[in-house]
């Protein structure tokens, strides 16, 4: 356990230092430009129509209409005008998180893992236990499971503490699944990857959850006031930038941790092989042909 904690904190500060490298900063621009252009275009085309559709749908809700009428009679702004963009932001945010993670995983993680491997683990043998097809399949299925979990857990978000717990936990689980697999895909065999996942499941999940909470900052902005919701089309690029940096940081953290764990696992197995006694073949006894002297 002490060894895992040392590896956890050692890999964290190394990942933080690597984030300051110009190459890493330059690599983070590509997902930012790609995601920013995509969501700015979609927001320009669909944000206003989607908000209007949500507002009209909310106005048809009987219970909400009664509350809105009462608030309007008191001089308060109509509830639908505030609630519609808020709901839309909460619907769009999980999609931004998942797509940002997948984009960083596909565009940055292989390069960042190679950077860590070449600088810290140049002699670590590459067994290539995870192909590109396997990595894509693993990432997409994990993302689908995370989106299903988010959708199923939405009713629980109405309980005040759970909205601050469930989404970061789900995002953390997704980050752990995707980043840990990609960090080991090139160097570890399938058996080694499964062994590391089994031994280091809690530290790896902890890294993912920590990064999930770091990535929850834009969600806190949405929930902090109407001003941020009104500026949502402009705040989305900032949110994507935050997600890109967080996932780049987590990619480096997983690379340092997983490759360090792989090196330790191979060293441990090498010691075990040397310590294992070698079974020597039993010595064969040669029959003795004794010739008795004749009298």
Which residue, 233, 202, 236, is CA-closest to 218? 236
Determine the Cα–Cα distance for residues 242 and 236; give it in Å rounded to an integer: 10
pLDDT of the residue at 150: 85
pLDDT of the residue at 69: 56
pLDDT of the residue at 168: 81
Q: Is the dihedral of CA 256, 23, 21, 105 positive or negative?
A: negative
CA-atom Rg of the chain in angstroms: 28
Domain boundaries, the chain: 2-61+81-270
Taking the model in full, what pTM does it have? 0.78
Q: CB-based burial of residue 89 (10 Å sphere; 0-12 exposed, 13-18 middle, 19+ buried)?
A: buried
Low-confidence stretches of the chain (pLDDT < 50) are 70-71, 74, 76, 225-227, 280, 282-286, 288-295
Asked if residues 37 and 99 have their Cβ atoms less than 8 Å apart, the reply is: no
Asked if residues 97 and 171 have their Cβ atoms less than 8 Å apart, the reply is: yes
- CA distances 143 to 29, 139, 179, 290, Å, are 23, 6, 12, 81
pLDDT of the residue at 265: 93
pLDDT of the residue at 24: 87
pLDDT of the residue at 178: 92
């Amino acid at each position: 356990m002490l060894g895992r904690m040392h590896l956890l904190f050692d890999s964290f500060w190394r990942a933080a230092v690597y984030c300051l490298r110009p190459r890493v900063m330059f690599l983070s621009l590509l997902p930012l430009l790609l995601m920013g252009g995509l969501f700015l275009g979609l927001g320009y085309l669909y944000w206003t129509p989607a908000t209007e559709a949500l507002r009209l749908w909310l106005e048809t809700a009987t219970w909400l209409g009664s509350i809105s009428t009462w608030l309007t009679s008191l001089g308060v702004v109509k509830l639908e005008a505030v609630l519609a963009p808020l709901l839309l932001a909460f619907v769009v945010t999980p999609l931004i998180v998942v797509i940002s993670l997948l984009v960083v995983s596909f565009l940055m993680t292989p390069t960042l893992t190679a950077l860590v491997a070449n600088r810290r683990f140049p002699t670590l043998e590459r067994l290539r236990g995870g192909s590109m097809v396997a990595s894509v399949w693993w990432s997409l299925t994990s993302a689908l499971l995370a989106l299903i979990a988010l959708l199923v857990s939405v009713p629980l978000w109405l309980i005040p503490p759970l909205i601050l717990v469930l989404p970061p936990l789900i995002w953390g689980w997704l980050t752990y699944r995707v980043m840990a697999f990609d960090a080991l895909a090139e160097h570890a065999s399938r058996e080694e990857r499964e062994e590391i996942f089994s031994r280091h499941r809690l530290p790896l999940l902890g890294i993912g959850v920590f990064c999930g909470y770091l990535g929850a900052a834009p969600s806190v902005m949405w929930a902090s006031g109407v001003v941020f919701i009104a500026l949502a089309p402009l705040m989305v690029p900032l949110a994507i930038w935050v997600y890109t940096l967080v996932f780049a940081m987590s990619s480096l953290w997983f690379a340092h941790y997983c490759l360090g764990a792989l090196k330790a696992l191979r060293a441990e197995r090498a010691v075990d092989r040397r310590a294992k006694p070698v079974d020597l073949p039993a010595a064969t006894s040669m029959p003795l042909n004794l010739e008795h002297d004749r009298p």
